[in-house]
């Protein structure tokens, strides 16, 4: 087997065990100064991000699906968690702004670039990190957005094949993310000089290999074959390119590694109306709190136990289970019995207030309240931003083990065994 795919094979085996054990967390892939992050929810890959060219990669993935990046960020509140790519995609899917099929293609494009660059470097180190911030899991449940297993297997194969098609005249990791331009100092005969001049606008030093594939509207494999000629003729030079700037709404979540600083209080809202959730998310996040919206009242209690929010906003009128019943259920859970619960309703009658009190709600708030009253309610029940409820930090050097099946409701680390993995992902690179 080629040394090029050793790192990818190790990753495929790791993914197999994560999938088999159906755990939630992050596979960190480190290659020298570059690191990649693969986030999983219950064994399913939901997002792939990297430390270099993160915004460029995001922009390419969107434009490949004819999605203008500004469409997913304009007028939106700051994302409540990292990876912000998944926050934006899942929010757009839940709001009906983006088709789930297109969103899946975006995830696939992000993942293919990462897997290909993992495949071209054998110096890969894998670690598993359990996730203390469950907002990503909340979004995954709400949107259902993930890469299906068979799609991920195909991406592993595509990355392996592409890594072997890339020109070998120069190590791919030294140029694949650099701007390509034609070497003006090379003397060519008349016919090739004409060809070179015609291609000058394409190889302008501002496009990477991945940008060229997008610009030419062709597959990365076909682009790799085309570049083979230019490498053999030594016609290319390479420029280091900076990443693009983060949109302002993402500036606080730009890191590709899990945050270790103290997090603001978490507000969870349970309401079957997407309009209400979007309005409250904007108010809550602009005030500096984290926010998680849930539309499914049936699954809400399970998610609340995992998230352990600092405050719950609870709609009264919902299908299947109403807000009063959910409130009573929450109060029977020891971990949530003292969590502030604010009942949201379109009515403000005496009977509604009595029912809220009987269900042991902390407060009663009209849905039509202005943002000032909503914020005042939050401030009454939540700690100040300077004394937020602490979350367990990630260890500075996580144990390089991969996860076992959940024990007592928590993801536990366990030694990784190739033999324990199912055959599907193990055979993906066979």
- pLDDT, tens only, 54-71: 999 999 999 999 998 888
Please state the rounded mean pLDDT for residues 143-172.
91
| Cα-based angle 317, 321, 322 (whole degrees, multiple of 5) | 30
158 and 23 assigned to the same domain: yes
252 confidence band (pLDDT: 50, 70, 90): very low
Most trustworthy range by pLDDT among 207-211, 288-292, 388-392, 404-408: 207-211
Between CA 26 and CA 40 the distance in angstroms is: 6
More confident position, 267 or 231: 267
Q: Are residues 214 and 346 in the same domain?
A: no
**Cβ proximity of 305 and 136 under 8 Å:** no
Region 89-98: mean pLDDT is 89
Chain-centroid distance, C-alpha 305: 22
Determine, yes or no, domain membership for 251. Answer: no
Could you give the C-alpha distances from 10 to 143, 157, 176, 219, 247, in angstroms and in order? 30, 13, 22, 26, 35
| Span 305-362, pLDDT tens digits | 888 899 999 988 888 888 888 888 999 999 998 999 998 887 666 776 777 777 788 8
Domain shared by 365 and 318, yes or no: yes
Q: Minimum mean pLDDT among 121-135, 137-151, 366-380: which range?
A: 121-135
Give yes or no for residue 169 having a pLDDT over 90: no
Say if residue 15 is in the same domain as residue 142.
Answer: yes
Peptide bond into 286 cis (omega under 30): no
Query: What is the CATH classification number for the domain harbouring 288?
Result: 3.40.50.2300
The answer to whether residues 15 and 160 belong to one domain is: yes
Residue 299 in tokens: 């699954």
pLDDT at 6: 62
pLDDT of res. 126: 93
Number of domains in the chain: 3
pLDDT at 195: 59
Query: Percent of the chain at pLDDT above 90?
Result: 41
Confidence class for position 208, pLDDT limits 50, 70, 90: very high
pLDDT band at residue 214 using 50, 70 and 90 as cut-offs: very high
pLDDT of residue 428: 57
358 vs 115, more confident: 115
Distance (Å, whole) CA 344 – CA 317: 9
Q: How many CB atoms lie within 10 A of CB 15?
A: 26
pTM over 0.75: yes
DSSP 320-353: SS-HHHHHHHHHTSGGGTTS-EEEEES---HHHH
Contacts of 139 (CB under 8 A, 6+ apart): 81, 86, 87, 90, 91, 94, 145, 292
Whether 147 and 99 share a structural domain = yes
Pair (38, 159) in one structural domain:
yes
Range with lowest mean pLDDT among 42-46, 334-338, 396-400: 396-400
Residues 108, 207 within the same domain: no
Question: pLDDT tens-digit profile of 72-83?
Answer: 877 666 677 789
| Angstrom distance (rounded) from CA 208 to CA 165 | 16
Q: Are residues 131 and 227 in the same domain?
A: no
Where does residue 245 rank: exposed (0-12), middle (13-18), buried (19+ CB within 10 A)?
exposed
Is there a single domain that holds both residue 58 and residue 184? Answer: no
Phi–psi pair at 91, nearest 5 degrees: -60, -45
Closest CA to 108 of 73, 53, 153: 153
Q: What range does the domain containing 408 cover?
A: 3-165+394-426
Encoding tokens for residue 7? Answer: 């790192």
The answer to whether the CB of 249 falls within 8 A of the CB of 78 is: yes
* pLDDT given at position 365: 85
Measured distance CA(111)–CA(47) in Å, rounded = 8
């Amino acid at each position: 087997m080629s040394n090029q795919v050793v790192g990818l094979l190790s990753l495929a085996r790791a993914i197999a065990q994560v999938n088999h054990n159906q755990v939630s967390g992050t596979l960190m892939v480190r290659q020298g100064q570059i690191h990649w992050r693969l986030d999983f929810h219950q064994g399913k890959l939901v997002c792939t991000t990297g430390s270099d060219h993160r915004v460029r990669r995001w922009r390419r993935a969107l434009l490949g699906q004819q999605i203008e990046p500004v469409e997913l960020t304009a007028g939106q509140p700051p994302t409540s968690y990292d990876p912000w790519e998944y926050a934006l995609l899942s929010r757009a899917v839940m709001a009906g702004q983006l088709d789930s099929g297109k969103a899946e293609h975006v995830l696939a494009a992000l993942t293919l670039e990462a897997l290909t660059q993992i495949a071209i470097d054998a110096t890969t180190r894998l670690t598993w990190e359990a996730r203390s911030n469950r907002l990503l899991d909340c979004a995954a449940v709400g949107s259902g957005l993930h890469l299906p297993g068979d799609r991920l297997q195909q991406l592993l194969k595509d990355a392996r094949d592409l890594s072997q098609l890339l020109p070998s005249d120069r190590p791919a990791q030294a140029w694949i993310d650099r701007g390509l331009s034609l070497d003006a100092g090379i003397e060519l005969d008349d016919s090739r000089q004409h060809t070179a001049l015609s291609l000058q606008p394409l190889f302008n030093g501002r496009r990477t290999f991945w940008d060229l594939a997008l610009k030419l509207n062709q597959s990365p494999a076909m682009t790799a074959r085309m570049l083979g000629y230019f490498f053999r003729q030594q016609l290319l030079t390479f420029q280091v390119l900076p990443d693009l700037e983060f949109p302002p709404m993402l500036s606080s979540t730009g890191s590709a590694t899990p945050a270790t600083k103290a997090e603001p209080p978490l507000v969870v809202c349970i309401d079957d109306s997407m309009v209400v959730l979007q309005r409250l998310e904007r108010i809550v996040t602009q005030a500096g709190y984290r926010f998680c919206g849930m539309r499914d009242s049936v699954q809400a209690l399970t998610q609340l136990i995992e998230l352990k929010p600092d405050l719950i906003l609870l709609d009264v009128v919902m299908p299947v289970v109403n807000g009063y019943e959910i409130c009573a259920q929450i109060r029977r859970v020891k971990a949530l019995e003292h969590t502030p619960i604010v009942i949201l309703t379109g009515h403000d009658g005496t009977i509604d207030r009595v029912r809220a009190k009987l269900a042991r709600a902390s407060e009663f708030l009209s849905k039509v309240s202005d943002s000032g009253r909503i914020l005042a309610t939050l401030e009454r029940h939540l700690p100040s931003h300077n004394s937020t409820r602490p979350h367990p930090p990630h260890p500075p050097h996580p144990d390089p083990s991969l996860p076992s099946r959940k024990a007592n409701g928590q993801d536990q680390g366990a030694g990784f065994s190739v033999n324990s993995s199912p055959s599907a992902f193990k055979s993906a690179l066979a």
